[in-house]
């Protein structure tokens, strides 16, 4: 009886997480130490991603209660083994948080956006290989600013030559 109430509490917590997030990414976490896991959890929570270890059957029960059953049928593989579930506002945010946590022990299996779209492991790996958003903004800014800087330098050179010609003609 006591175990049943614990399972019900775990399912209701999982349902709350599912309802409060737009994406879920299950990851294999075998071989990660407790200290590393604590650091990953802390980093991910600062990025707006919640990491939870939930029994697979209990998560499937929570998903079945909150998501359409056809979505569960389209999952690419069954949820087996030691899985860590990342809940967040988007697949991109989760993948970015996991990649910036710098852990080689977490291996995302696939992602699921909660209206029902399944994101493959290859897509998540490609997202995880992208540089951080700050670096991307710096690259875009440089791409936009570089031609303007070159134009400004060219106009200054033309103006200084014209000024030098005027000075020579005056003397």
Residue-wise pLDDT tens digits, 146-160:
989 899 999 999 998
* Alpha carbon distance 57, 40 (integer Å): 24
Q: How confident is the model at residue 1 (pLDDT cuts 50, 70, 90)?
A: very low
The sign of the CA dihedral 133, 104, 86, 120 is positive
Say yes or no to pLDDT of 15 above 70.
yes
DSSP secondary structure string for all residues of 111-155: EEETTS-EE-HHHHHHHHHSPPHHHHHHHHHHHHHHHHHHHHHHH
CATH architecture of the domain formed by 2-130: 2-Layer Sandwich (3.30)
* Alpha carbon distance 70, 87 (integer Å): 20
pLDDT above 70 coverage of the chain, percent: 94
Q: How confident is the model at residue 2 (pLDDT cuts 50, 70, 90)?
A: low
∠ CA 146-149-151 to the nearest 5 degrees?
Answer: 110
The phi and psi torsions of 103 (rounded to 5 degrees) equal -115, 135
* Alpha carbon distance 142, 32 (integer Å): 39
pTM (2 d.p.): 0.70
């Amino acid at each position: 009886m006591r175990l049943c109430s614990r399972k019900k509490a775990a399912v209701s917590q999982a349902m709350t997480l599912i309802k409060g997030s737009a994406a879920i990414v299950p990851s294999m976490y075998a071989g990660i130490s407790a200290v590393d896991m604590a650091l990953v959890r802390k980093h991910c929570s600062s990025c707006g991603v919640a990491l939870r270890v939930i029994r697979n059957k209990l998560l499937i029960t929570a998903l079945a209660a909150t998501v359409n059953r056809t979505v569960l049928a389209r999952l690419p593989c069954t949820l087996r083994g030691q899985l860590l579930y990342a809940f967040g506002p988007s697949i991109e945010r989760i993948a970015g948080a996991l990649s910036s946590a710098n852990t080689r022990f977490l291996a995302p299996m696939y992602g699921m956006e909660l209206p029902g779209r399944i994101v493959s492991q290859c897509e998540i790996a490609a997202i995880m290989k992208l540089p951080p958003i700050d670096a991307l903004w710096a690259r875009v800014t440089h791409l936009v600013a570089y031609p303007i800087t070159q134009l400004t330098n060219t106009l200054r050179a033309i103006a200084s030559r014209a000024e030098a010609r005027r000075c020579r003609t005056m003397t």
